[in-house]
Amino acid sequence: MKVKFWGVRGSIPCPGPYTIKYGGNTACIELRFVDPNRLIIIDAGSGIRELGNYMMANDLPRGPIKTEIFLTHTHWDHIMGFPFFTPGYIPGTKLKIYGPVSYEDNSLEDSVGGQLTYRYFPVRRTELASEIEYINLKEDQFDLGDGIILTTKYLNHPLLCLGYRFEYCDKVFCTAYDTEPFQNVFCTDLDDPSYNEAMAHEGDQAARAENQRVEEFTAGADLLVYDAQYTQEEYESSKIGWGILHVNMPSLRRSRPGPNVWPCFTMSPYELMSRWMS
């Protein structure tokens, strides 16, 4: 299993002198399985444009492109690169696009393919020559074939967002970004007229249980990708509820069992990623 990052930023692409080291593209990860010749892509942020160009030069000459794209969620920074993914325009390309759906009225196909309308883009969805299948995902475990097992976990974000855990040949690659600790959704202020002790207790238990499940989901990963959008101070002062972790997220760090590598991800477009990595 080989991992390559084609986009690591959150919110908006941010090219420029301050993002030279890690690039300015938004989320896109290539997961390459050499032996079964399998290519999995996680998220279709602006980084997928360059990945698509690489595939055109290196994969297409060996035969029609067949790949799976797993979207963590459909916020724009995670899908904005799709209209620029050249393999999607090539006859013979087969794409399976997986992702969670937050609103039944908006299908995954509408959310992703809907970018290709004249309102936003000079090419229409119907002009994509590839064969595209859209598949809705929920929290579950899946056998993807070739010995690849995928486990999905709902994270805490303003719309449904999935973490992905791929297991292959005793190695684990896991994503848990665009999330923050689950909070008690009920009132916990004893002086607030809406305070209800039973509900407050229940909300506390539910939040603890979900946070525990996220820790279990990430435990043992050989490589875990998570958020680095904020410092802990920034998060606690004004960013709680925005659905993004801070770089010192303690519960995830506690689950680290060994000499694993922890790339930070969905880095702020306004700051140097090296601020965290150094």
- Close Cβ partners of 86 (under 8 Å, ≥ 6 residues apart): 49, 52, 53, 55, 56
Q: Which residues contact 5 (CB under 8 A, 6 or more apart)?
A: 22, 23, 28, 29, 30, 47, 263, 265
Under rule CB under 5 A, residue 165 binds Zn ion = no
**Which one, 129 or 159, has the nearer CB to Zn ion?**
159
Could you tell me how many residues of this chain bind Zn ion (CB under 5 A)? 2
Residue of 178, 229, 263, 276 interacting with Zn ion (CB under 5 A): 178
Nearer to Zn ion, 55 or 71 (CB): 71
In degrees and rounded to multiples of 5, residue 227 shows phi and psi of -75, 150
Output 168 or 177, the one with its CB closest to Zn ion. 177
Within positions 37 to 76, which residues make up the interface with Zn ion, using CB under 5 A?
75
Residue range at the interface with Zn ion (CB under 5 A); choices 112-120, 171-179, 191-199, 226-234: 171-179
Contact flag: residue 246 with Zn ion (CB under 5 A): no
* Shortest separation between residue 253's beta carbon and Zn ion, angstroms: 22
Mapping DSSP to helix (H, G, I), strand (E, B) and coil, where does residue 172 land? strand
The residue at minimum Cβ distance from Zn ion is: 75
Q: How far is the CB of 267 from Zn ion (least distance, A)?
A: 13
β-partners of residue 142 are 150
Cα separations in angstroms, 33 against 4, 50, 121, 210, 219: 12, 19, 33, 31, 22
Binding site for Zn ion (CB under 5 A): 75, 178
